[in-house]
Structure 1
Amino acid sequence: MTKLTVVANIIANKDSIDFVKAELIKLIEVTRAEAGCISYDLHQDNENPAHFVFYENWQSREHLQAHLANSHIANYVAATEGQVELFTINEMTHIA
């Protein structure tokens, strides 16, 4: 099985760090229970507390797409609108 690794970078506005962090934490339990989720781990940069990284592993791209279409992701996006400076997703193929 070839798993899909995702690295999602979220940079919160400086005045919204705690709020964005709380909203990101809300995603963890529900996402880990989703079909196809192998791992879903949130990290915060030690030098820049506004920078968060999700390191995720999915059984397939289809599982990731289903995750991104879930209501809890839409709720997160709505809740943090205007409070996130940057959001990027990198999809990677696990090699070894």
Structure 2
Amino acid sequence: MALTIVATIKANADSVDLMKSELLKLAQITNAVDEGCINYHLHQDNEAPMLFVVYENWESPELLQKHVDSAHFQAFMAATEDATEEFTVNTLTQIG
């Protein structure tokens, strides 16, 4: 069962550049090496640059969990721990 993830991240006002840099690094590594990653797209809001949206599709919940447990995802979480005001993750299943 494929899964879609929509993660919305609001960076602290003084951490936008750090967040963008770390998200770009995470997206590049994830797209290159994570098994089961169908796509991993990063977006930044045009009107509110502190808002980032990650749109991801995974082949299975198990392969998504491997991504979450990976060293590169854990490094991202550690690097941005104090840079994040809000972090929301929605897990979706396509129904049509």
TM category, shorter: over 0.9
How many aligned positions are there? 95
Deviation at 1:29, TM superposition (A): 1.9
**CA displacement, residues 6-61 of structure 1 (integer Å, 9 cap, x when unaligned):** 00011000111011100000011211121100000000011110000000000011
Deviation at 1:95, TM superposition (A): 2.0
Q: CA RMSD in A?
A: 0.9
Counterpart amino acid of 1:12? A
Unpaired segments ≥5 residues, structure 1 = none
SS of residue paired to 1:49: coil
In structure 2, the residue matched to 1:24 is 23
Identity %: 52
Deviation at 1:94, TM superposition (A): 1.4
In structure 2, the residue matched to 1:15 is 14
Counterpart amino acid of 1:4? L
In structure 2, the residue matched to 1:54 is 54
Q: Which has the higher helix share?
A: 2
Unpaired segments ≥5 residues, structure 2 = none
TM-score after normalising by structure 2:
0.94
Equivalent positions of 1:33-48 (< 5 A) are 33-48=33-48
